[in-house]
Amino acid sequence: MIVVTGATGTVGSRIVRGLRERGEQVRTPVRNPGAVPAEWDAGVTPVAADFTDPASLDAALAGATVVYLLAGVDPQMAQHERNVIDAAVRAGSHPRIVLQAASGVDGPHEGVRFLTAHAQAWAHLRASGLPWTVLAPNGFYQNFLLMAGSVRAGQLSVPGGGAAVSYVDADDVAACAVEVLTGAGHEGALYTLTGPAGLTHGEIAEQLGAAAGHEVAYVAAEPQAALAYMLGAGWDPWRAEGLVELYGYYAAGSAAGVSPDVAGLTGRGPRPLADFLAVNGGVLRGE
């Protein structure tokens, strides 16, 4: 039985779709089984579970053969991931854990809390004795759709400095996940998932502008100003500070590299940003 956590989110929902397209049965631990995506058919079994509730995780992971471990960004993210790993150990079926971390989890990332949290969970996983695989995606193209309001006002304003980032399509991340969940030979592997090119935020702003139908200027925000803006907008401080740290990591050029792993896993190259925006540009235009 394949178990997919985080199945209602950006990547998880795409993984469930991909597994069902292959005829796989999927169990999905969800916080609210009464509000699952309408597209989930009888081949998807939602089970009430919460990362904070070990007993619920025991029930959700019983008999699992492979578990996709995706915990959303949260101050307790590392603990949530450890809780799932511990429940998988207790399950007794010795499931393989496919941990969704983030690119850079296997390199120096001091002071970048999202990466530190995933690194802690990965260390816990290695010590668990369970077979494991890590997917380490770069930032998602989908994040730019969340900035549609700012893009419509003609700005991409993030504290990303002048370095390139090889952002990736969440569809490609999910396609890799489906391969790794259903295929053999992935034990002990870490796959870094990037798009086909490193792009500066200036270049990304140009592409957003082309998709939106008007000029979009990149404004390299100061980290403290970006943090103040997010806190003023009611963001959780841990998450806002973490995002500023991550953009600092981007600005240092640490997320610019292009990996061959999407092509290696799926047999086709990762989707370019321009192709993604050609399909999703309507969101930027407010359609």
Ligand X SMILES: NC(=O)c1ccc[n+]([C@@H]2O[C@H](COP(=O)([O-])OP(=O)(O)OC[C@H]3O[C@@H](n4cnc5c(N)ncnc54)[C@H](OP(=O)(O)O)[C@@H]3O)[C@@H](O)[C@H]2O)c1
Q: Are 88 and 67 in contact, with CB atoms under 8 Å apart?
A: yes
State in angstroms the smallest separation of the CB of 137 from ligand X: 4
Closer CB to ligand X, 6 or 195, in the complex: 6
**Is the Cβ of residue 51 or residue 247 nearer to ligand X in the bound state?**
51
Dist CA 270 CA 137 (whole Å): 12
What minimum distance in Å lies between the beta carbon of 258 and ligand X?
15
CB of 166 to ligand X, least distance (A): 12
Closer residue to ligand X, CB minimum distance, 105 or 284: 105
181 bridge partner residues: none
Inter-residue contact 168 to 262 (CB < 8 Å): yes
| Closer CB to ligand X, 7 or 205, in the complex | 7
Q: What is the rounded CA–CA span in Å between residue 54 and residue 51? A: 7
Least distance CB 140 / ligand X (angstroms): 4
Tell me the residue nearest to ligand X as measured from the CB: 9
Give me the least distance between CB of 246 and ligand X, in Å please.
9
Alpha-carbon distance of 184 to 181, in angstroms, equals 8
Which residues lie near ligand X (CB under 6 A)?
A: 6-12, 30-32, 50-52, 70-74, 100, 102, 114, 137, 139-140, 143
32 SS3 class:
coil
CB of 216 to ligand X, least distance (A): 19
* Among 117, 124, 122, 120, residue whose Cα is nearest residue 135: 122
Looking at the Cβ atoms of 20 and 214, the one nearer to ligand X is: 20
Q: CA 109 to CA 39: how far, in whole Å?
A: 38
d(CA 239, CA 237): 5
Which residue, 4 or 221, is less far from ligand X as judged by CB? 4
**DSSP type of residue 214:** S
User: Running DSSP on this structure, what letter comes out for residue 269?
Assistant: P
CA distance 276 to 169: 7
